[in-house]
Amino acid sequence: MKKWHLSIKVKLRLAKSGIITTHEERKEIYRLLSEKTGLPLNEAIDFVSDEELKEIVKEAKRRQNKNKVLSKVLANLLIPIFI
Asked if residue 64 is part of any domain, the answer here is yes
pLDDT in tens, 5-31: 567 888 889 999 898 888 889 889 989
Residue 1 lies in a domain: no
31, 5 Cβ separation under 8 angstroms? no
Residue 32 has pLDDT above 90, yes or no: yes
**24 is a domain residue:** yes
Q: How confident is the model at residue 76 (pLDDT cuts 50, 70, 90)?
A: confident
Asked, for residue 23, whether it belongs to a domain, the answer is: yes
Closest CA to 41 of 52, 51, 32: 32
As for how many domains the chain has, the answer is 1
Compute the residue count for the chain. Answer: 83
The answer to whether residue 2 sits within a structural domain is no
Instruction: Report which of 42, 44, 48, 7 is spatially closest to residue 27, judged by C-alpha positions.
Output: 7
Domain, as residue range, for 15? 8-82
